[in-house]
Amino acid sequence: MAGGYVDCHCHMTAEEFSQDIADILERSRKGGVQALVSVTEHAGELESLLHLSERYPHYIMPCFGVHPIQSKADGYRSVTLQDLEAALQQFEKIKDHLVGIGEIGLDFTPWFTPTAKEREEQLKVFQVQLDVAKQMDLPVNVHSRSAGRQTIAFLKEQGADKVLLHNFAGRPSAALEGVQVGYFFSFPPAVANNDQREKLIRQIPLENICLETDSPALGPIRQERNIPSNIFISCEYIARVKGLSPDKVCEVTAHNAFRLFPKMRHKLNE
């Protein structure tokens, strides 16, 4: 397992890690994880993300973006352009620190995004952040729940070329449209719990697959906090589905991660 795993999508600034982040990262290192791409969901996470990446400069690779679903006092709601305003003021100032823009994308889950107006505003928020990524020449770390085909079509329409579709759960036919234009797809440990993604993972070439944990969510045990050292579960599941060795999957997915996030290699070697 030369080099080790790369976790291409996790949330290390989440409240769930506020008490024991040093211990969690130590366990990740011991578990063979060589780098973590940590994403945000809202502008308020930026300060803690930058602080973490300064504290662990060769390990935490920062991605900054505004998620299509935002939390509110009594649950969740669809993102608005107003949610994006604070982030837009920050992107330019911090671009040298970032390896990518994310977590951004579309979430058309009916109870979060019930109206056409909300879906249109989500598309606008997504488009503005894709434009930022293009201007900064950075890859995008993309969410696509209940909107797999729409997300890939929109990314292609917008001319996005450096794309990771995290925890993709759309149809294989939609994924293969993304593969044709060079998009990458990553899968968290939760996929090993049932075989719903088996057909999808079998059809996506290994050259287009990355590993992720989505920590603290989507771990091996539902309702339990997920941690980056669980990444081996994703690796072993993908290896089993594809009839390959876990070492081979680890090696190729890490290589893919460095192709997608070229600034990450530079940060590791600084």
CATH number at residue 117: 3.20.20.140
Mark the binding-site residues, compressed into ranges. 9, 11, 103, 143, 166, 214
Q: What is the dihedral of CA 16, 235, 184, 90, to 10 degrees?
A: 20
- Taking the C-alpha atoms of residue 98 and residue 122, their distance in angstroms, rounded to an integer, is 23
How many CB atoms within 10 Å of residue 123? Answer: 17
- Name the pTM for this structure: 0.96
Mark the binding-site residues for a divalent metal cation, compressed into ranges. 9, 11, 103, 143, 166, 214
Domain that holds residue 201: 5-269
- Taking the C-alpha atoms of residue 270 and residue 265, their distance in angstroms, rounded to an integer, is 9
Residues constituting the chain = 270
pLDDT in tens, the chain (270 residues): 458 999 999 999 999 999 999 999 999 999 999 999 999 999 999 999 999 999 999 999 999 999 999 998 889 999 999 999 999 999 989 999 999 999 999 999 999 999 999 999 999 999 999 999 999 999 999 999 999 999 999 999 999 999 999 999 999 999 999 999 999 999 999 999 988 999 999 999 999 999 999 999 999 999 999 999 999 999 999 999 999 999 999 999 999 999 999 999 888 887
Domain count of the fold of the chain? 1
Cα–Cα distance list, 39 to 7, 130, 187 (Å):
11, 15, 15
Among residues 256, 181, 216, the alpha carbon closest in space to that of 12 is found at: 216
In this prediction, residue 1 carries a pLDDT of: 45
- Taking the C-alpha atoms of residue 44 and residue 86, their distance in angstroms, rounded to an integer, is 8
- Taking the C-alpha atoms of residue 175 and residue 181, their distance in angstroms, rounded to an integer, is 10
